[in-house]
Structure 1
Amino acid sequence: MRDLGRASVQIVHDLKNQLNGLKLYATFLRKRLEKAGRPADELETVAKLLAGLERSATDMNLLVRYGRPLTLRPAPRGDLAKILTAALGDEVKIKVGGNTFTGDFDPAALTEALRDITDGALHSRVHAGDAKGPLEISLSRDESGGAPQAMIEWASVRHAAAEDLFHSFAGSHGMRMALAAKIIRAHDGDATHEADKLRVSLPLSKDEK
């Protein structure tokens, strides 16, 4: 299985390079059409072709990243509340319950993961045809198991299908969700999808509350 995984990553990597080559040819064609003053519908067709190739190349890159081992660069005593707020921006309201959320986190990787989980949650609501009301996000501290953990929850996440959003691999959002879960687990945390809730747990430092 390990050999198959390595072979799959190499195949996807080669396909990504071929897509990048097609993008170069399509870009050259677009410039030639623009220079020749071709009709707008022809230029629009090439623009759509380029956009499709760009999406496919991005998806291939996500698959390559998912198939390779993650290398984290954790910073000691990172503030998870600040990382979460910075990742989601001021437009998203986060309910914070607890005093401190300090731990050893890779801020860049975790920012990417938390942003992609939120985008995936929002996308699933739109896809399900039920995007009314704000997405509810909360951050709390849990010490019921002895070791302190941060719990991040995305509530009111409705999905048209029954599959786990962290394991669907459906489209760009599905692949980003899977990669986000891998980043969370690389931090010794966990990412789960139950009913209409997404939950992420991350270990915290033991010396602070």
Structure 2
Amino acid sequence: MNRPRSVLVVDDDAHILEVLEMRLTSMGFAVTATVDAEAALAALGTRGFDAALFDLRMDPIDGIALTRAAHARQPRLPVLIMTAHGTIENAVEAIKEGAFDFLTKPFVTEELRGKLARAVADRRWARDRNLLRTVGETLASAASMDRVLSAVAEGTMEATETERTVVFLRESDRLVPKASAGTSSTPLDRLAPAAEAAIARRGSVTMGGAEGRATLAVPLMVAGTPEGALVVENPSHVVATDDDLDLLRVFASQGAVALGNARELSRLRSGALAALGRVASQVAHELNNPLGGLALYARLLEDRFKTAGDEEGVQLTHKVGRAVKHLADLVTDITAYGRPPELKREPTSLNALIEECLSLVQDRVVDKEIRVVSKLAPDVGTVLADARELKKVLLNLFVNALEAMEPHGTLTIRTQRADERTIEASVEDTGCGIDDETRARMFDLFFTTKANGTGLGMPIARSVVDRHGGRLDIDSEPGVGTRVRIELPRQ
């Protein structure tokens, strides 16, 4: 059942206040009536209202000043100004100051009912329409899934006037919070049971929480399967309505569309990249022999120029040799991506591997005067992994981070036990950051933003982590920096 719409009424005439309270109650509204403007402001700070009626002429705070103060606490609250016939011009001025409409005294019941109903309805539909338009535009812009889910969380919080909104997605055998809006003292893991219940039920659920809070959850259905849930936590003074649940379902459907689109795009892209990798691997194989011959000829020419004392010729053959080596390295990378070697797993200390890789890039660290912060947890232990392959990943991440930073930047490397079965490592820089468009294509084969890049480093890094049964995620903000996080199973 829907709760009654709540109305706050303020008038310094106790008789008018009493009459209004009776009329509004008979219309089905839950009325809070007071002659004290300060008491009204106190009420606005502790609970939500669907509409308010303020008398224009009051002391010491008039209706216009009270409207401004009310909107400072509840910006979308529709306020109707009550006025006598002789002060309609002032009431019109009040509308310019943010009031929704005005009512003339003495009141006509149908006018009172009609304007209040319109105020409540216009407020909800104007608000919801704008929020849904924002989410829809974000979805249509081909933005990243993270950005769409963030828009869903923020839009839901505003539309339902809740305390916090969280989008949970199922990954492996657990629910992971992927986007949130608002703040609350409740830990995120305590909202997960509501998400689990909505997924299990395949429908909306309402659960009680701490301090009288209520938690609502709606599943994100992708192709008929619940893949996550949209969860909102209401403060104790906000009572959810059927309209709120309907709106929650609409926003959840937007999140589900974003998730479905992202997965379909990933599937299509993976197939295309796999095919491209196979073709590139065949081409690379055909290039190996000619490149080996070119490298040999370059060395022979260099020896002849040295014998002849031709320093310019020596420099030219150096350039040829470097170009050939670059092509050979590219061929090696393409082959590694298209035909990855079989993993040779053995117990490997992730911390020791990180220290080894850091030593290999020490010259770059010194040249740029980079500050390296190592926060390697001593209790991470070992992972069952191919150390040679993981070394490629770490070196790629370190070099990318160092190249992204200006001199005197900070490189932070962390390791920790995510849980009993998983070890987490992260590489964080204070570089230029990555925009959404670039981040969406970072794992595309041959995509690069570097002048001399091959566009193979990150695809190979993800491929290695995937083959270890782990995951690689990137968080970045342009102008702030980038954090790459790797999760690896211990066994």
Q: Deviations over 1:64-119 (max 9, x none)?
A: 1111133111114x332223223323965420246233321122222232122212
Aligned pair partner of 2:428 in 155, 163, 182? 155
Provide runs of 4+ in structure 1 moved above 6 Å.
none
> Equivalences for 1:1-150 in 2 at 5 Å?
5-38=277-310, 40-76=311-347, 78-89=348-359, 92-97=372-377, 99-125=379-405, 130-143=406-419, 148-150=421-423
Distance 1:30 1:89, change over 3 A: closer
SS of the aligned residue for 1:141 comes to: strand
Query: Matched residues in 2 for 1:4 and 1:119: separation?
Result: 26
Mapped contact 2:402–2:429 kept (Cα < 8 A): no
Which segment is superposed worse, 41-50 or 96-105? 96-105
CA shift digits 1:111-162 (9 cap, x unpaired): 232122212221232xxxx24323111112213xxx6322211112534763
Contact 2:380–2:416 (CA<8 Å) still a contact in 1? no
1:191 aligns with 2:463: no
Look up the SS of the partner of 1:89 in the other structure. helix
Q: In structure 2, what residue type is equivalent to 1:95? A: K
What is the DSSP-based 3-state SS (H/G/I as helix, E as strand, rest coil) of the residue aligned with 1:135? strand
The TM-score with structure 1 as length reference comes to 0.79
SS of residue matched to 2:486: strand
Amino acid corresponding to residue 86 of structure 1 in structure 2: E
1:203 equivalent to 2:203? Answer: no
TM-score (norm 2): 0.36
C-alpha root-mean-square deviation of aligned residues, in Å? Answer: 2.7
Residues 166, 193 of structure 1: 8 Å contact kept = no
Q: What's the secondary structure of 2:456's corresponding residue?
A: helix
Separation of aligned partners in 2, 1:182 and 1:148: 21
In the alignment, structure 1 residue 177 sits paired with structure 2 residue 447: no
CA gap of 1:27–1:160, structure 2 versus 1, over 3 A, is: farther
Q: Cα gap change, 1:160/1:17 in structure 2, threshold over 3 Å: closer, same or farther?
A: farther
Deviations 1:37-85 (A, max 9, x none): 22x2222112111111111111111111111133111114x33222322
Aligned residues: 196
**Contact 2:428/2:484 (CA < 8 Å) preserved in 1?**
yes
Native 8 Å contact 1:191 1:201 kept in 2: yes
Task: Tell me, yes or no, if the aligned pair for 2:409 and 2:431 is still in contact at 8 Å.
Answer: no
Q: For 1:98 and 1:71, locate their aligned partners in 2 and report how far apart those are by CA, in whole Å.
A: 30
Partner of 2:301: helix, strand, or coil? Answer: helix
Kindly, what percent of the aligned residue pairs are identical?
Answer: 25
Q: Which has the higher strand share?
A: 2
- State the SS of the aligned residue for 1:29: helix
Q: Gapped runs of 5+ residues in structure 1?
A: none
Q: Distance in 2 between matches of 1:149 and 1:102?
A: 10
Q: Which has the higher contact order (CA 8 A, sep 6+)?
A: 1
